[in-house]
Structure 1
Amino acid sequence: MKKSIALALLASAFIISCGPKSSAVTGPKFTSSEHLAQGKTVFENSCNRCHKLPDPAKHDDKGWIKTLSRMAPKAKLTDEQHQMVYDYLISVNKK
């Protein structure tokens, strides 16, 4: 019985550790023109590999959080790149 519980806990810990990181963007962080320019470059180079670049006005700030949380792992963006892309998009977004 104890072995079964220990095995179940170990398996659960393994499954959780393999899941996505919860370091999601929650709002703007970078505002310098250098970071925003880097965000634009990452956006253009990473997102354009798989699909046409979306218009930044396509989503509001919260919509971009949701979209990027789904797409950043697919594009293999680092947490910093994810944040810079988000900050770039909301800086040029008209919504």
Structure 2
Amino acid sequence: MKKLILSMILGSVFLVSCGPKSTAVSGPKYTATEQLAQGKTVFENSCNRCHKLPNPEKHDDMGWIKTLSRMAPKAKLTDIQHQMVYDYLISVNKK
């Protein structure tokens, strides 16, 4: 019985350790013009590979957090790129 419990615990730890390691965006970080321009470039080049670019006004700030959390791993964005894209989108979003 102890071996079974130990195996289950080790299996759970292994599965959790294999999960995504991306840091979630929780709000704006970059505000410099250069960083926002980099965010725009990453947005245009990475997101446009798979689909038409969405209008930045499509979502409010929280909506972009949810959308980018789902899409950034698919686009293979680094945490910094993810943050820059988010900051660009909310900088041009009028919501």
TM range (shorter): over 0.9
Paired residues, number: 95
Query: What displacement does 1:33 show?
Result: 0.7
Unmatched segments (≥5 aa) in structure 1: none
Query: In structure 2, what residue type is equivalent to 1:9?
Result: I
2:30–2:36 Cα contact (<8 Å) kept: yes
Is residue 2:54 matched to residue 1:48? Answer: no
Cα distance in structure 1, aligned partners of 2:53 and 2:41: 12
1:1-95 alignment, distance < 5 Å: 1-21=1-21, 23-95=23-95
Cα distance in structure 1, aligned partners of 2:60 and 2:81: 19
Cα distance in structure 2, aligned partners of 1:30 and 1:83: 8
Query: In structure 1, what residue type is equivalent to 2:64?
Result: W
2:25–2:65 Cα contact (<8 Å) kept: yes
Cα RMSD, aligned residues only = 1.0
Runs of 4+ aligned structure 1 residues displaced above 4 Å come to: none
> TM-score under structure 1 normalisation?
0.95
Query: In structure 2, what residue type is equivalent to 1:76?
Result: K
* Percent identity between the two aligned chains: 80
Query: In structure 2, what residue type is equivalent to 1:40?
Result: K
> TM-score under structure 2 normalisation?
0.95
